Amino acid sequence: MKHLRTFLLATVATALPGIALAQTAWDMPTPYPEGNFHEKNIATFIAEVNEAAGDAVAITPHFNQSLIKHPDIKSSVRDGIVPIGETLVSRLENENAIFGADSVPFLATSYEDARKLYDVQKPLMEKVLAAEGLKLLFSVPWPPQGLYTKDAVDSVEALSGRSFRAYNTSTEAIANAAGMVPTQIEASDIATAFSTGRVAAMMTSPSTGVDSQAWDFLSYYYPLNAWLPRNMVIVNQAAFDALPAEAQTAITEAAAEAETRGWAASEEETKRTTDLLAENGITVAEPSEALTSGFQEIGATLTEAWKASAGEDGAALVEAYQQ
């Protein structure tokens, strides 16, 4: 990491002798493949910034963990190794519970509810990020989370004992509550994990199911609409402040556009990718009443547990959201 930091910092253009203005080069790591709708949205964001900022700043994306692994992206932006990056919000729940609000199971199960939850979560996230010298640029949800399995299941009890792909604190808690065995697997490693038998079930979006070509190793998808986790793009505040005013404006205006565009794209992505799962042989089945109610009971328990872990801020957030 030390060598990476030295290399990346060296790529940031600074004023050289005899040059009145030098372009600042920003590398931007992301966790997901270039074809994913989040990354298409980010590519548009970058193009808009690069065009509007002129000679002030140029951002280069590095998709699919190709520059920095997902678990290290937030700390790399904080430490100035890179100035900007994308991460899954709920990956940071172990640092501060407030980041896990969007992934509390069955708390927000529609785009309307997810937007309302974001509105009350956002200022709390911004406060925590600011304390680490970070600035939130925009945040976009994944499609609602559903259950993928190799064979048909009609209850939570039927999942007991199975290995389960986890990617944040909430998915680990769901697995434990359902009697499954959580195993941390990044999105880019899903196909390998299932093919080698490390995991037998997962709960994720239809978009991730398509990205990983889930039909090659799974047979059923149950659209539980359990929650809508969000990604966020963050920037190092000091790096942002070092840019000229016109470049800062270009970034904040493009970020606002990206957030609006991304939320709309996520809704479109839900239908498109659910249809693609079915077209490629996945059985898209409505969950049974027993399966739904079983997960809802788990969700209610985990909501209370999350409120306790988040303290006064968490209780106030849930109260404001439920009004």
Are 129 and 216 contained in the same domain? no
The pLDDT assigned to 164 comes to 97
Are 71 and 27 contained in the same domain? yes
User: Environment class of residue 77 by beta-carbon count within 10 Å: exposed (0-12), middle (13-18) or buried (19+)?
Assistant: buried
Structural domain boundaries, residue 178: 146-227+275-322
pTM for the full predicted model = 0.88
In a domain, 10, yes or no: yes
Average pLDDT, rounded, for the chain: 92
- Cα angle: 227, vertex 228, 233; to 5 degrees: 145
Are 70 and 174 contained in the same domain? no
In a domain, 97, yes or no: no
Are 23 and 68 contained in the same domain? yes
In a domain, 96, yes or no: no
In a domain, 18, yes or no: yes
Are 256 and 295 contained in the same domain? no
* Nearest Cα to Cα of residue 173 among 71, 100, 72: 100
Are 166 and 18 contained in the same domain? no
The pLDDT assigned to 11 comes to 45
Are 317 and 202 contained in the same domain? yes
In a domain, 125, yes or no: yes
Q: Which residues of 284-301 are buried (b: 16+ CB within 10 A; e: fewer)?
A: ebebeeebbebbbebbee
Are 121 and 248 contained in the same domain? yes
CATH number at residue 291: 3.40.190.170
Are 194 and 309 contained in the same domain? yes
Are 58 and 168 contained in the same domain? no
Condensed to tens digits (0 to 9), the pLDDT of residues 183-223 reads 999 998 999 999 999 999 999 999 999 999 999 999 999 99
The pLDDT assigned to 20 comes to 36
Count other Cβ atoms within 10 Å, centred on residue 139.
Answer: 22
In a domain, 98, yes or no: no
Condensed to tens digits (0 to 9), the pLDDT of residues 45-72 reads 999 999 999 889 999 999 999 999 999 9
The pLDDT assigned to 273 comes to 97
The pLDDT assigned to 323 comes to 87
Are 213 and 150 contained in the same domain? yes
Are 185 and 302 contained in the same domain? yes
Those residues of the chain that have pLDDT short of 50 are: 2-3, 5-7, 9-21
Count how many domains the chain has.
2
